[in-house]
Amino acid sequence: MNHDQALVVVYDLLDGQSSIPIRLRMKQNVPDADVEALYDALDVLVDYYAGEDMVPKRLGRMFIDIYGAFSFRTGFYSEGERRKWENVGIKLQEKSTSLFS
């Protein structure tokens, strides 16, 4: 996957009309493959922007409250599902730290 493809994947999965956060809020299925594709695309972008001083504004905006997009109140999801999505949020927050460092 190249830089342009990775941006499209991240934009679609975090900011698109059927993004992962939107599907989670609507209690729609989010396949693990979508999460893995997001992680893979972010890894490409971390490598691409490693020597750069700036990233696209849209990309940065998606990470302002990334952990919050994957945190749910007790009872919204089962405890196991809630922890799973919080862990995804934590991992995305860690990847964003790498992206912006």
Residue ranges of domains in the chain? 3-100
Closest by CA to 21, choosing from 10, 3, 75, is 10
Mean pLDDT score across all residues of the chain: 96
Crossing angle, helix 79-100 and helix 32-48, to 10 degrees? 10
Tokens of 73: 């109140």
Q: Residue 62 in 3-state DSSP?
A: coil
- C-beta separation of 70 from 85 below 8 A: yes
**pTM of the full structure:** 0.93
Give the model's pLDDT for residue 76.
96
Tokens of 14: 């975090």
User: What amino acid occupies position 28?
Assistant: Q
pLDDT tens by residue, 14-48: 998 999 999 999 999 999 999 999 999 999 999 99
